Amino acid sequence: MRILSNKNQAETGLDQVGFEQLFDAYYDELQHFIFFKTGDTEIAEDIIQDAFLKLWEMRSSVRVETARALLYTIAANLFANRYKRMKLKLKLQQTIVEDRTFETPEFEMELKEFDQKLQRVLSGLNENNRTVFLMNRMEQMTYSEIASALNISVKAVEKRMKKALEHVRKEIEQKF
Amino acid sequence: METDKNRHIDPSALSKARFDRLSTDEKVDLFVEGYRVPQKRSKAEALELLRTKLDQKSTGKPIRNLRIYWSAAASIVLIALLTTVYFFQSTPSQIVAAKGQHLEYTLPDGSNVIINADSKISLSESSFAKQRTLNLEGEAFFSVQKGKPFVVKTHTGTVEVLGTKLNVFSRDNELSVSCLTGKVKVTSNGQSVIIEPGEKADLVSGALQKSTNIQTDHMAGWRSGEFHFDNVPLISIFEEIERQFNVEIATKGLENRFFTGSFSNKNLNEVLETVCLPMHLDYEIKNGNKIKIVPKAQ
């Protein structure tokens, strides 16, 4: 069983420096990715620790070009195995409000209520749809970036985005 | 990405009139783009923590928890020992290695056999002294003492050896015999081949085929918990995992797919990942011992 030929051996494998570069490049987005699934910062941070540990264990066979997708796969698997179907409540930090003067106190209330409602609606989204939606809107990842990170087709990303948008629109417009 | 965030308009900076003019989608985007994922530890702290864990790892302090596997393994070894002792005192007729268990056994002639998970050998002690013949179902590794012919009968064929080390695998319609030292004669369906060290005989659609230049440490790596596969049907791989970890694996549509690679039988999750990742599969573990293999989610 010889997987590596001498030619691409040079491109395979990670050293400590390469490993930490990957950490630097992808830590935040991976932590966000799991957060989008769980809504729990601590779980997300723990899973990403383990994901990088796992990556280090398999460093000899890791190629830098595929490391990002690999990290997503590892993280998603770790999450799926430990925390399947967890009831979640997203607690995202809004950039608004504190120390602001609003036109009227009523308008301030309206914005805060919209914020709370939106977070509730997002929490109620199907996990996969929410994850893709937030990767696109919060992480500013393009559809093709998301597709390659999650190992799914761009078509599938579009479908999830569409479902997420429809759901959010419907829920927000209800009794508002 | 940073600049994108900076361009974002804070909803609270809007006038009510302008906010009211926005569509639902625009309002949603306005808020969502401003959201931040909360952090407990900073990236620098996370890196520090990771480095500590990696240090612990390289100095050999155990940080992986293999809990269930190790305790299961320990109790299995204990049971195996007791079983072995028990059989030694009585007349052995069957030596059985259960799923998730490897068993080492010394035969009456001093030959040694290591039995792989979910396998069994049977023999009659009284007649074994005269004629070294035993039956095997499953897989076992033999270190045979020199002397009279030593015969391993399986339902797919017969293996005849003089002093030698060999591995015999016989499950369902498969038969695979590899030779590490000495000479081995394999007979099946009326055909015979003789194999020598580094060679292997396989039953392929009813015919015996000989292959040469096999790495001897791959031939019976399972004894040390290392499993090597060279272009083996994926379904057989999952069957091996079932036997090694005593789990049930449900697969669908994996016919005609083959796997080349290695894994060790220390950690079920790692093994599943090693096999599933390159094959573009996902797995779900239910109730600890039921596993479902599915194509990667679309």
Within 8 A by CB and 6+ apart from B169, the residues are B138, B139, B175, B176, B177
Interface touch A27/B46, C-beta < 8 Å: yes
- Taking the CA of residue A98 and the nearest CA in chain B, the distance in Å comes to 9
Domain identity same for B195 and B277: no
- Is A126 part of the contact surface with chain B (CB cutoff 8 Å)? no
Q: Residue B110 is part of a domain; what is its CATH number? A: 2.60.120.1440
Within 8 A by CB and 6+ apart from B32, the residues are A118, A122, A133, A134, A137, A138
Mean pLDDT of A114-132: 89
Chain B, residues 186-245, CB within 8 A of chain A, namely 218, 228-230
Domain identity same for B202 and B283: no
A99 part of a folded domain: no
The amino acid occupying position B147 is G
A89 part of a folded domain: no
A98 part of a folded domain: no
- Is B29 part of the contact surface with chain A (CB cutoff 8 Å)? yes
Domain identity same for B125 and B213: yes
B54 part of a folded domain: yes
Range of the domain at B213: 91-220
User: Which of the listed residues B162, B189, B220 is the one where a domain comes to its end?
Assistant: B220
A17 part of a folded domain: yes
Question: Which residue among B4, B49, B296 sits closest to A140, beta carbon to beta carbon?
Answer: B4
B166 part of a folded domain: yes
Q: Which one has a higher pLDDT value, B295 or A9?
A: B295
Nearest to A58 by CA among A84, A39, A77, A31: A77
Judge whether B283 and B291 are in contact, CB under 8 Å: yes
Q: Which one has a higher pLDDT value, B209 or A175?
A: B209
CA pair distance B202, B250, nearest whole angstrom: 27
Domain identity same for B207 and B233: no
Question: Which residue among A137, A153, A173 sits closest to B32, beta carbon to beta carbon?
Answer: A137
Containing B195, the helix (H) or strand (E) segment is strand B191-195
A73 part of a folded domain: yes
Domain identity same for B214 and B186: yes
Mutate to test the interface with A, among B25, B27, B32 (most CBs of A within 10 A): B32
B206 part of a folded domain: yes
pLDDT in tens, chain B (298 residues): 333 444 456 666 778 888 888 888 888 888 888 888 888 888 888 888 888 888 776 654 333 444 555 566 666 666 666 555 544 444 557 888 888 778 888 888 888 888 888 898 888 877 787 788 999 999 998 888 877 888 999 988 888 886 678 889 888 888 889 888 888 889 888 888 888 888 888 888 788 888 887 777 777 788 878 888 877 889 989 999 998 888 999 988 888 888 888 888 888 888 998 899 888 898 988 887 889 998 887 5
Q: Residue A131 is part of a domain; what is its CATH number? A: 1.10.10.10
B86 part of a folded domain: no
Domain identity same for B112 and B178: yes
Residues of B in contact with A77 (CB under 8 A): 273, 282
The tally of domains found in chain B comes to 3
Domain identity same for B161 and B191: yes
Residues of B in contact with A30 (CB under 8 A): none
User: Which of the listed residues B157, B187, B220 is the one where a domain comes to its end?
Assistant: B220
Q: How many Cα atoms within 13 Å fall on the side-chain side of residue A81?
A: 21
Mutate to test the interface with B, among A42, A66, A96 (most CBs of B within 10 A): A96
User: Which of the listed residues B220, B238, B272 is the one where a domain comes to its end?
Assistant: B220
In this structure, what token pair is assigned to residue A114? 């919209």
Domain identity same for A169 and A113: yes
Domain identity same for A73 and A113: no
Q: What are phi and psi of B173, to 5 degrees?
A: -95, 5
B152 part of a folded domain: yes
- Is B298 part of the contact surface with chain A (CB cutoff 8 Å)? yes
Residues of B in contact with A74 (CB under 8 A): 273
Check residue A139 and report its DSSP letter.
S
Domain identity same for B196 and B256: no
b/e per residue, B259-287, with b = 16+ CB within 10 A?
A: bebebebebbebbbbbbbbebebbbebee
A44 part of a folded domain: yes
Judge whether A55 and A19 are in contact, CB under 8 Å: yes
B120 part of a folded domain: yes
Domain identity same for B290 and B233: yes
Domain identity same for B282 and B166: no
Range of the domain at A145: 105-173
Domain identity same for B138 and B201: yes
A38 part of a folded domain: yes
Q: Which one has a higher pLDDT value, B234 or A8?
A: B234
Q: Residue B247 is part of a domain; what is its CATH number? A: 3.55.50.30
The tally of domains found in chain A comes to 2
CA pair distance A22, A42, nearest whole angstrom: 21
Domain identity same for A64 and A110: no
Nearest to A29 by CA among A64, A71, A59, A63: A71
